[in-house]
């Protein structure tokens, strides 16, 4: 069945974890007293970049800025659709300077950038599908930002409430498999949001809590290949059953800050 799945070449924006550290705690994964191996983090990140390129994807890179240890999590910087950039406005003061660093890159690359008035953390909470944008709230991005996104892109926005602090961003609890389907962990969402997802995606791949806690849902799919945390074994087995090809990439050192594969990956959609 996997032969029927067709990959689509993507353009990704990333940032090397040269200054990666856990210096503060803004989610349950972060413990400032836990040592971080920066060399290991860079090696694991480089393995992700190599995997993307080996599967035909284009990768651009933003220069990391000293003093911004979470800048490696490029997904949080923006949502890019139809060549238009909806920037970020971070909830945590420690991360707010990242918005300017990424905005500078986008403008230098020829993009106009809209800076939201409301708290919004880019693709962390904004997950575009073929028909609409799924938008998370509850811990970071606000419902007001959802309305800004809809007005800016003219695309329907479906608000979803997150209820488990371990899944503080939508991209830790859900990812898009292809034009028509997603994978997600139901218990990360409020009852009403679970009902919405069930109606929109009746054939979705449902993950266990164990696989979600292993960052299995912080994955990137090109429509056929799914770049996924290796510890999410049950989810990977499900994906194979559904015709996808898992590509395990270990970012365990970056998990110490609450991020994984998707967190490190901003997609530039033209």
Contact of 104 with 247, CB cutoff 8 Å: no
Write the burial class of residue 32 (CB in 10 Å: 0-12 exposed, 13-18 middle, 19+ buried): exposed
> For residues 126 and 217, what is the distance between their CA atoms, to the nearest angstrom?
14
β-strand partners of 81 = 84
Q: Residues with catalytic annotation?
A: 169, 263
Distances in Å between the alpha carbon of 44 and those of 38, 40, 148, 175? 10, 6, 35, 21
Which residues, at least 6 apart from 242, have a Cβ–Cβ distance to it below 8 Å? 1, 177, 205
β-strand partners of 226 = 221, 246
């Amino acid at each position: 069945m996997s032969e029927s799945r067709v990959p689509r070449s993507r353009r990704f924006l990333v940032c090397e974890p040269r200054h990666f550290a856990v210096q503060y705690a803004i989610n349950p994964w972060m413990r400032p007293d836990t040592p971080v191996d920066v060399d290991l983090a860079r090696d694991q990140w480089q393995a992700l970049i190599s995997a993307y390129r080996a599967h035909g994807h284009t990768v651009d890179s933003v220069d990391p800025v000293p003093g911004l240890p979470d800048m490696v999590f490029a997904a949080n910087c923006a949502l890019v659709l139809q060549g238009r950039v909806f920037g970020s406005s971070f909830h945590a003061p420690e991360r707010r300077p990242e918005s300017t660093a990424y905005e500078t890159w986008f403008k230098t690359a020829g993009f106009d950038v809209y800076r939201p008035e409301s708290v919004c953390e880019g693709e962390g909470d904004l997950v575009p599908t073929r028909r609409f944008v799924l938008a998370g709230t509850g811990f970071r991005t606000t419902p007001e930002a959802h309305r800004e996104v809809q007005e800016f892109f003219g695309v329907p926005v479906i608000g979803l409430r997150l209820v488990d602090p371990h899944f503080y961003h939508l991209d830790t609890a859900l990812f898009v498999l292809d034009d028509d389907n997603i994978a997600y962990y139901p218990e990360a969402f409020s009852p009403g949001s679970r009902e919405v997802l069930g109606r929109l995606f009746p054939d979705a791949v449902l993950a266990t809590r164990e696989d979600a806690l292993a960052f299995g849902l912080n994955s990137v799919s090109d429509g056929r290949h799914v770049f996924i945390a290796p510890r999410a074994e049950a989810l990977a087995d499900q994906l194979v059953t559904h015709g996808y090809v898992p590509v395990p990439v270990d970012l365990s050192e970056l998990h110490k800050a609450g991020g994984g594969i998707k967190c490190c990956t901003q997609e530039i959609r033209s």
